[in-house]
């Protein structure tokens, strides 16, 4: 099996962290280019959306997106990243983290691609950041018990989302006023699987 990935993608990083946390070392990681303006031909052939992560399998069709792949990998390893007793909370928290990533990746694309043509829309960037800020406030206010408990997929998603904010939007200083979440992130980022996948 091959995971189509890229080092900076927070969505792909979720899957790479799950692979390491569940000790599945038999899946190759292949870096490919993915862009809203067109990406790798193999990626487009396997996943019509042209997005990473995409998991190529010999025994069946490709799997996407990151939520599907993480769940497949958890199932494959017989791991317990989806605790039955807290399933809906965990899935909602993962969705919350993915929404942070979507807004943050969209901001990156706005600056990178539309910026090339002087088309950057500052109000749109601020509105995306407002979504992220609301989500971070909700994490700080409501999600710390789930973040502090035994390892689950939502913790991995939140860790990857926060790592991406540091990578691309450090100027927005997400830690300001969110001491509890910031302290959690510091501890979670020290996990070997997070450290090994930290984007440069």
Minimum distance from residue 110 beta carbon to ligand GSH (Å): 12
**CB-nearer residue toward ligand GSH: 35 or 75:** 35
Minimum distance from residue 34 beta carbon to ligand GSH (Å): 4
> Three-state DSSP class for 55?
strand
Residues near ligand GSH (CB under 6 A) are: 9, 11, 34-36, 50-53, 65-67, 98, 105
- Which helix (H) or strand (E) segment is 187 a member of? helix 179-189
User: End-to-end distance of the chain based on CA atoms, in angstroms?
Assistant: 25
**CB-nearer residue toward ligand GSH: 103 or 147:** 103
Minimum distance from residue 180 beta carbon to ligand GSH (Å): 26
Residue, CB closest to ligand GSH: 65
**CB-nearer residue toward ligand GSH: 9 or 197:** 9
Query: What does the DSSP assignment read for 126-184?
Result: HHHHHHHHHHHHHIIIIIHHHHHSS--HHHHHHHHHHHHHHHH-GGG-TTTT-HHHHHH
What is the C-alpha to C-alpha distance for residues 182 and 186, in angstroms, rounded to an integer? 6
Minimum distance from residue 15 beta carbon to ligand GSH (Å): 8
């Amino acid at each position: 099996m091959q995971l189509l990935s890229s080092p900076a993608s927070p969505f792909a990083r979720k899957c790479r962290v799950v692979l390491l946390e569940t000790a599945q070392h038999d899946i190759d990681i292949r870096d490919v280019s993915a862009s809203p303006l067109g990406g790798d031909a193999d990626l487009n052939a396997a996943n019509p959306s042209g997005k990473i992560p995409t998991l190529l399998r010999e025994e069946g069709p490709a799997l996407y997106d990151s939520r599907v792949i993480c769940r497949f990998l958890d199932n494959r390893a017989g791991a317990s990243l989806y605790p039955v007793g807290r399933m809906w909370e965990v899935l909602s928290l993962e969705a919350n983290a993915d929404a942070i990533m979507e807004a943050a990746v969209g901001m990156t694309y706005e600056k990178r691609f539309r910026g090339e043509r002087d088309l950057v829309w500052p109000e749109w960037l601020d509105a995306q950041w407002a979504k992220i800020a609301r989500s971070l406030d909700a994490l700080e206010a409501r999600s710390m018990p789930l973040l502090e408990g035994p390892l689950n997929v939502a913790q991995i998603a939140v860790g990857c989302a926060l790592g991406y904010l540091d990578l691309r939007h450090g100027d927005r200083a997400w830690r300001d006023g969110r001491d509890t979440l910031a302290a959690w992130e510091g501890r979670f980022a020290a996990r070997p699987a997070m450290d090994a996948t930290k984007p440069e």
